[in-house]
Amino acid sequence: MDEPRDKGLTLNPKYDRDGLITAVVTDAATGEVLMLAHMNDQALALTIETGLAHFWSRSRQSLWKKGETSGNMLEVRDLRIDCDQDAVWMKAVPAGPTCHTGARSCFFRRVGAEGLSAVDTVE
């Protein structure tokens, strides 16, 4: 265990070889997990500074302000970091559906022994 990083009160993110940490977003009202994405140092700094979720798009290789094109921004209500500082948890108020499929949450399918089943309507 890296004591200062794991238990201290200094922000010291452990970025991976691509310079990223993982970010999980839950709905501040319902607790539902809405999405999972990644942040580089700039995305994390902008999220803290503006109170709006920013990520790093691995597919587009660019900074991504969530909702910039769709309007479905995520307003941060609480931001936490985990023990080894390679992941953050954001409680947010979503302005609309979070998933690019139109679903409220990206996690709209259940995994069972028999495969997947839908648990949320894709609009």
Place of tokens 């679903």: 103
Other CB atoms within 10 A of residue 5 CB = 17
Which residue, 71 or 112, has its beta carbon nearer to a copy of itself? Answer: 112
Beta bridge partners of 27: 92
Least gap, CB of 21 to a copy of itself (angstroms): 10
Least gap, CB of 112 to a copy of itself (angstroms): 8
Contact status: 93 vs a copy of itself (CB under 8 A): no
Map 13-77 to HEC letters: CCCCCCCCEEEEEEECCCCCEEEEEEECHHHHHHHHHHCECEEEECCCCEEEECCCCCCCCEEEE
Where does this chain bind a copy of itself (CB under 8 A)?
1, 6-11, 22, 24, 26, 30-33, 35-36, 48-49, 78-84, 87-89, 99-101, 103, 106-113, 115-119, 122
Question: Which residues contribute to the annotated binding site for Zn(2+)?
Answer: 83, 99, 106
Question: Which residues contribute to the annotated binding site?
Answer: 82-84, 86, 99, 106
